[in-house]
Chain A
Amino acid sequence: MNPVIKVSNVVTRFGSNLVHDGINLSVRQGEIYGLLGGSGSGKSTLLREMIMLQRPQSGQVVVLGHDLGNVGREEAAWLRRQWGVLFQAGALYSSLTVAENVGIKLKEYAHLPKNILQEIVRMKIRMVGLPDYAADLYPAELSGGMIKRASLARALAMDPGLLFLDEPTSGLDPIGAEAFDKLILELREMLNLTVVMVTHDLDSIWTIVDRLAVLGDKKVIAEGSLKEVMNQPHPIIQKFFHGERGRIRVQHGK
């Protein structure tokens, strides 16, 4: 079966700062795919390249069978409707309420009557674990964790087949993070989602990620299931999984 996302030989450079030097990875249908790596290793940048916010200097990114370096306007518009994105900082529209943020894409593309639209928006808001009163709040009136949830609700608004999450659980309390993980699992089951998530959260990596790639030294230093990756001898991986926090996590298992 063809992978949903295929990244080959991607090179990215900001001025003289070489961020990616030949990245290769592929994401399969229906899996939760983790992107790991230290701060500044280019995870967010890679994610931006997968959603057409940025172009690599060279190399190819293919999403749902379309080569992103070479798509027409119509194709691009269609592609953009196939995915939902949760940005690292939320990126909610500051002049709209949470409900409006969640509903904006529905309003624009689905042309539903107001009562149904409201009902869908309310469901999404409850689904991500926000209280009802949050619907009428503005982003500046939300806590950090609530912003994460609201932007997840917005990403899920159109029931996209592909979900990109940039550090969804950072900034959440452990209980909230666990609920978030569970929610993503549930959604994957029901909606046949494919999820690509950038994460540093060892718990998420252990409990929900099916396969992952570790970025380091400007390349993918390991890709595969957690077991396969952990057995790689690369020092970055050893540090990551067998450092203090990693060891505790390994001892406790799933």
Chain B
Amino acid sequence: MKALEHQPEVTFLRDEEGNILLASSGEWRVATLKGVIPVLDRHLRNLSRRSLRWDLFGISSIDSAGMVLIEYHLNLLAKKGNTVEVTGASQEQQQLYEMVASYISAVPDVPQERESRFLRPFTHLGESVMVFLRDINAFLSFVGENFVVLVLLLLQPWKFRYRAIIKNIQDAGVRALPIITLTSFLIGVVIAYQGAVQLQKFGANIFVVDMIGISVTRELAPLITAIVVAGRTGSSYTAQIGVMKITQEIDAMRIMGFEPHRFLVLPRVIAVMIALPLMIFFADIIGIAGGMLVANLHLNISMTEFIHRLQGVLDVKHVWIGVAKGPFFAWLIAMTGCFRGFQVSRDTESIGRYTTISVVNAIFLVIACDALFSVILTELGI
């Protein structure tokens, strides 16, 4: 292995006239400098208007970091009115000295903090508000651009990327069916159980059918499906487009005349808008089936009884309302996913950041949109 590295050392000598000699020795290399810095600081900090001699003769080897350290202190000393003479430098050290001197700043500076601690929360608040406004602005222009491309495409419908749409339906819809099955089944089970406990108290077992039928089709299936799709598909859209942005694939597409909205965004948005309503209908069936199972085991309602009751109480409008929410949720999810993907810039870290933001935004928007539906439909008396 390697011989032990000699630590850099510096000794301070004072002659009778008060002149100071710094004798330095050892290896002044970046990996070993740590020890000598406090020594230099301690001895040199309070010197002013003195005359010093700094002897480099004992230094066996020095690299540019070591030279920076020396020159940093030389500059500090000079600033405080000391006169320093450097002696004993070999020719190579002389060369290194000159090179470093030509690059480091003559006046060692310490960056000042500008804003006061007191104002910082306000600065942050202001900044986040500005970021929020800018995001909204950017999202609106994204939507606008998307709409323009959509209108142009509607005039030439053969230019739609049908294959991409089909492939995206496959990815976002068909492949998500297992997880949708699982979650909506469990939701049906949970609702049935919660309802059963309460309804049994009144002997109103059969009303569990009303409860499951309406809550699952109208609210729960759409919401759960949308949340699963936001987490699964929205995030992957952001990541896919984000990576393409970083690797400049988007730029390459633009210069070849492949409009990203036509090739990337619209196929995804349309695919999710087609797939989500279908998935909601699927989740309706599975959720009700889950409820039916619990009703059968726990409340002794037979399957035929359950279905008979369901036909009586579940207006078809509830199913339609639930399914009709699909395209709206889908549009929000896919648009946010793509939009955040295009916002990715610069570094790989921002892919992760924007993917998270995209999912959080999408879920929030879906829930907000659902609330809006509730209010409007209730006001309309539907």
Contact = CB atoms under 8 A, between A and B. Distances in A.
A40 to B, nearest CB: 21
A202 interface: no
Contacts of B64: 120, 123-124, 127, 156, 159, 190-191
Nearest to B72: A119
Q: Which secondary structure dominates where chain A touches chain B?
A: helix
A94 B99 contact: no
Interface stretch (B30-38, B139-147, B272-280): B30-38
A119 B347 contact: no
Interface string A118-139: 0110111011000000000011
B108 A119 contact: yes
B96 interface: yes
Contacts of B15: none
Interface string B339-350: 000000111111
B105 interface: yes
Contacts of B347: 93-95, 138-140
B68 interface: yes
B95 A189 contact: yes
A167 B157 CA distance: 49
A106 B349 contact: no
A115 interface: yes
A112 B33 contact: yes
Interface in A97-115: 106, 109-113, 115
B103 A123 contact: yes
B346 A141 contact: yes
A224 B55 CA distance: 42
B69 interface: yes
Interface residues of A, number: 32
B16 interface: no
A109 B72 contact: no
Contact of B92 (A81, A116, A158, A190): A190
B258 to A, nearest CB: 22
A14 interface: no
B128 to A, nearest CB: 21
Contacts of B2: 78
Contacts of B149: none
B53 interface: no
What are the 5 closest A-B residue pairs judged by CB atoms, nearest first? A94-B347, A159-B63, A95-B347, A95-B349, A140-B346
9 contacts: A81-B31, A94-B347, A95-B349, A109-B30, A112-B33, A112-B34, A119-B72, A140-B347, A159-B30
Interface of A: 75, 78, 81, 93-95, 106, 109-113, 115-116, 119-120, 122-124, 126-127, 138-141, 156, 158-159, 186, 189-191
Given A81-B31, A158-B65, 20 more contacts: A94-B346, A112-B34, A112-B65, A115-B72, A115-B110, A116-B37, A116-B65, A116-B72, A119-B104, A120-B64, A123-B68, A123-B103, A126-B104, A138-B346, A138-B347, A139-B347, A158-B31, A159-B30, A189-B92, A190-B99
